[in-house]
Structure 1
Amino acid sequence: DIEDSFQDNEKAGVVYLDLTAAYDTVWHRGLHLKLLRTIPDRHMVKFIMETLSNRSFILQTSSGQCSRLRRLKNGVPQGSVLSPMLFNVYIHDLPDTASRKYGYADDLAIMLSRPTWKAMEEGLNEDMGTLVAYLRRWRLQLSVGISVAAAYNLSTREARRELEVRVDNKCLEVQQAPKYLGVRLYRTLSFKQHLEEVKAKVTSRVALIRRLAGTTWGASAKTLRISTQALVFSAAEYCAPVWSRSPHARK
Structure 2
Amino acid sequence: MTYQGVLTKMESEFANPIQYYLVFENDFINVNQLLDKTIKIEFIKYQCLNCGLNKPIFRQGFCKSCFFDIPQAADWIMRPELSTAHLDKEDRDLEYEKKVQLQPHIVYLANSSDVKVGVTRRSQVPTRWIDQGAHEAIEIVEVPNRYLAGITEVALKDHVSDKTNWRSMLKNEIKDEDLVSWRERLKQYIPDEAKAYFIQSNTETNLEFPVLQYPEKPKSLNLVKSNNYSGKLVGIKGQYLIFEDQTVFNIRSNEGLVVNISI
TM tier, smaller: under 0.3
The structure that is strand-richer by fraction is: 2
Structure-2-length-normalised TM-score: 0.26
Structure-1-length-normalised TM-score: 0.27
Larger RCO, structure (CA 8 Å, separation 6 or more): 2
The structure that is helix-richer by fraction is: 1
